[in-house]
Amino acid sequence: MPLIMITNDDGVDAPGLRILAEALGTLGRAIIIAPERDNSAASHSLTMRRPLRVREISADVYAIDGTPADCVMVGIKKVLPARPDLVASGINPGANLGDDINYSGTVSAAREGTLLEIPSLAVSLATANGEPCLYPVAARQALILAAELLERGMPPNTLFNVNVPNRPAVEILGRRYTRQGRRLYDNAIQETFDPWGQRHYWIGGGTPRWSKEPETDVQAVQAGYVSVTPLHLDMTNHQVLQGLLAK
C-alpha cells in the first residue's frame, strides 16, 4: 500500500488539507503532517533557531510548530513509519501561478519533498476573492494525477505545481502542461500609521497584472484548464551559462 504524506501551508485545520487527504487516502495510507498554524507565503524557510515540537492530533494526523518545509523534512526523517511514495501539498485556497511560486509555502513543501527525492506535487485552487472554494473539484484532479505519478514515477529533480480553476467539474476543460508565467502586483505595499503617528508598511493585496503569454500556467487557468507545471530544482539559466562559457 503506498504511503502518502499530506501537508500544506495553511495549517493543520485547513479544510483543503483534510479534503486532499481523504481523496488521496483512496490510493494508500495518507498521513497528514502540517504546520500548527497558517504559514502562507513562508516560501522555503526552515526553523533553525529554536526546537520544533511534533504534536499528534489523531490517528495519522500530526501538527508541527514550524514551516511547511520543516514539516516535510521532519515528517519524512522522523515521524513517518517509512519513506513516503508521494508528498502532496495543498489544497491551497488561491492560485499559485507565475511569480507567486517563489513565495508559496504550498509549492515549497513539494519542493522540499523533491529535494528528499520523493515524487511531490503542490495543489492550489484558483479562487477569486470572496467566492466559495470548490475543494472537491481540485481534490479529484489531484487524485487523478497522483494515481498517474504512483504508477509511472516522476522525472528526477522535478515537482508538479498544479492549479485548478475554481469552477464546477463539468466546466473544467481538461489538463494542460504549462510553463511558469508572470504575475506581478501594483500597489502591493500599504502604508499605515499607528495611533502614535508612527509609519508602518503592510505587504499584501494590490492589483495583479497577469501575463498574456501563451502556454503558461496563468493562461491555462484563465481559459478553464487545469495547469500542471513541471518545476525543476536546478535554477541555472543554462542558455546564459553556455554563452558565458563560450566567451
Give the pLDDT score at 133: 97
pLDDT category at 68 given cuts 50, 70, 90 is: very high
The superfamily (CATH) of domain 3-182+213-246 is: Survival protein SurE-like phosphatase/nucleotidase (3.40.1210.10)
Cα–Cα distance measured from residue 17 to residue 139, given in angstroms and rounded to the nearest whole number: 10
Residue 233 in contact with residue 161, Cβ under 8 Å? no
Going from the C-alpha of 147 to that of each of 23, 142, 153, 154, 224, the distances in angstroms are 11, 8, 10, 12, 22
Q: Which of 131-135, 176-180, 202-206, 228-232 has the lowest mean pLDDT?
A: 202-206
pLDDT 10s digits, 192-222? 888 998 998 877 766 777 777 889 999 999 9
For 165-171, which contacts have Cβ atoms below 8 Å and span 24 or more sequence positions? 165/126, 165/221, 165/224, 165/225, 165/226, 166/125, 166/126, 166/127, 166/128, 166/131, 166/133, 166/134, 166/137, 167/134, 167/137, 167/224, 168/134, 168/137, 169/137, 169/140, 171/224
Percent of the chain with pLDDT over 70: 99
Encoded amino acid at 32, one letter: I
Does the reported pTM lie above 0.75? yes
- pLDDT tens, residue by residue, 118-165: 999 999 999 987 799 999 999 999 999 999 999 999 999 999 999 999
pLDDT at 49 over 80: yes
